[in-house]
Structure 1
Amino acid sequence: MMVGERVDMLLTLMKRAEKKEASLQLINLAETIMGKLPKDEWTILDDYINDMTDHLADEGTYLYSSGFTDGIWALKFINSL
């Protein structure tokens, strides 16, 4: 299971590298659109994006640490056999 997760992570990194240019274009387009918004609407949208980013970061940290803890538990279990 841990090897599978590692393979998935490496594949994700590879796909990210391939999509980096498209992502940069999308970011530039989004910044251009946001720049045309009135200040109050820009602030609302910026707060929303920041909140979503924080949520995803917290989720990723939780999942990573849980996977690490599960891996330690699995090793201890295997060693106890």
Structure 2
Amino acid sequence: MMRHVTLYSRPGCHLCDRVRAVMEDVLRRTPFTLDVVDIDSDPALKARYDHEVPVVAIDGRIAFGYAMDAREFERRVRGDSV
């Protein structure tokens, strides 16, 4: 089953840009769907994640925050664990 990944982000967030670059690299090898959500466009998300982005959810469950290890991310989107 293909995993669904959500990246909670905001414009100008250099950590968010790094995490997205890792995701795009992994996507070349391991298929998954990706939604990038700008938390600033939703007051509830901004209140929840304002000082925590980037936040990564896999299949609706928070998996990573701030930093993300590329190997661990790839392992999880392959379905080895969530």
Name the TM-score class by shorter chain.
Answer: under 0.3
Q: Which has the higher contact order (CA 8 A, sep 6+)?
A: 2
Q: Identify the structure with the greater helix proportion.
A: 1
Higher strand share: 2
Report the TM-score, using the length of structure 1 for normalisation. Answer: 0.27
Q: Calculate the TM-score normalised by the size of structure 2.
A: 0.27
